[in-house]
Structure 1
Amino acid sequence: MSFEIERKFLVRGDDWRKLTQRHIKIRQAYLASNSKNSIRVRIKDDKTATLTVKSKPSSLRRLELEYPVPLLEAEAMMQLRQGAVIEKIRHVVPWDDLEWEVDVFLGSNAGLIIAEIELDSEHQQFRMPAWIGREITGQLQYYNSALVTQPYCSWAREDAELQQLA
């Protein structure tokens, strides 16, 4: 059984861009999402696809089960989605011995930039880059499963301005 231990942060400035090692174009859609779990289909660079089941975050650690699926089937599952398709460019940014994933959202979530770091334990210590802003771990409105029905463009202006000041 696989678990994910992840922390999420808003991003300040563009200094992270010069450190980017690679980037991945991601399209994902949610087939189901409720108070206990979410089921999503994700397509990376229009080449590979996965089906993922995740428990809802109640702490830093949550269940994550991921399975490869044929690309054609993933495209068909996208049509069965709830809400909009999430589109983003994920930038992989090495920092110390870890990798940050900086997601630059597109479409109705354009303007939102979130950095995530996966850890080996809930208590793992790490050094934060200067371009990391306010922590948003556990704030459900920032999770992709929420952005499909409440996109960033629909947030109150004050919320969007706060994100920019992260």
Structure 2
Amino acid sequence: MAEEIERKFLLLNEDWRGAVQRSVAFAQGYLLGARQASVRVRIEGEQANLNIKGVTLGVRRAEYEYPIPLADAREMLDTLCEGPLIEKTRHYVEHQGHTWEIDEFHGDNAGLRVAEIELAHEDEPFARPGWLGAEVSGEARYYNVMLVKHPYREWRDE
């Protein structure tokens, strides 16, 4: 089975910006009706993928990803996905042997920034950059699929 081991963190400050090696615009949506998995259509720059992830919270989840034609992805985002779509810029930052993916959200989730690191195993050690804040790996509201249902802009009213 394909698996993803990923930890999510908030950011303390903007110091990571000086270390960005590249950035890519993302647009993604989630197909309606999936209950046992999140089924995501994602456009990453000029490439598109269909991604299926288990709904388990935590750092380890089943994950499958397949390339699809860009035109098909655009049509699925427009016609089959729940709204609002997730719009974000992903920044890639190398730090002591690991690649950090920092998602800077736009649209209904503007203002939210989350750093993610993928690991080979759950107990893999990694160096914490000085800009890294609290871990939110087990908090459902930070998952992209949840940001569709309860966007960050609504959190301020809670």
Number of equivalent positions? 157
- Partners of 2:134 and 2:35 lie apart in 1 by 25
Q: Distance in 1 between matches of 2:67 and 2:85?
A: 19
Render the CA deviation track for 1:84-135: whole Å, top value 9, x for unaligned.
1000000000000100000000011000000000000001111100101111
Following TM superposition, by how much is the alpha carbon of 1:59 offset from its aligned partner in structure 2, in angstroms?
A: 3.3
Corresponding position of 2:89: 89
Separation of aligned partners in 2, 1:59 and 1:141: 12
Scaled by the length of structure 2, the TM-score of the pair is: 0.95
**Between 136-145 and 56-65, the greater mean CA deviation after superposition:** 56-65
**Is contact 1:33–1:145 with CA below 8 Å preserved after alignment?**
no
Partner of 1:163: none
Q: Which whole-Å CA distance do the structure 2 matches of 1:32 and 1:65 have between them?
A: 18
Amino acid at match of 2:93: V
Gaps of 5+ in 2: none
Q: Shift of the alpha carbon at 1:2?
A: 1.5
Looking at structure 2, the residues matched to 55 and 39 of structure 1 have their Cα atoms a distance apart, in angstroms, of 9
Match for residue 50 of structure 1? 49
| Alignment-derived partner of residue 67 in structure 1 | 66
Checking the alignment, whether the CA contact within 8 Å between 1:6 and 1:117 is kept in structure 2 is yes
Q: How do residues 1-166 of structure 1 correspond to structure 2 at under 5 angstroms?
A: 1-32=1-32, 36-45=36-45, 47-79=46-78, 80-157=80-157
SS in 2 for 1:9: strand
RMSD: 1.3
Which whole-Å CA distance do the structure 2 matches of 1:152 and 1:52 have between them?
Answer: 23
Unaligned runs of 5+ in 1: 159-166
Partner Cα distance (1:121, 1:22) in 2: 26
* Structure 1 Cα separation of the partners of residues 106 and 58 of structure 2: 28
Does the Cα contact within 8 Å between 1:102 and 1:115 map onto a contact in 2? yes
- Consecutive aligned runs of 4 or more in structure 1 exceeding 3 Å deviation: 32-35
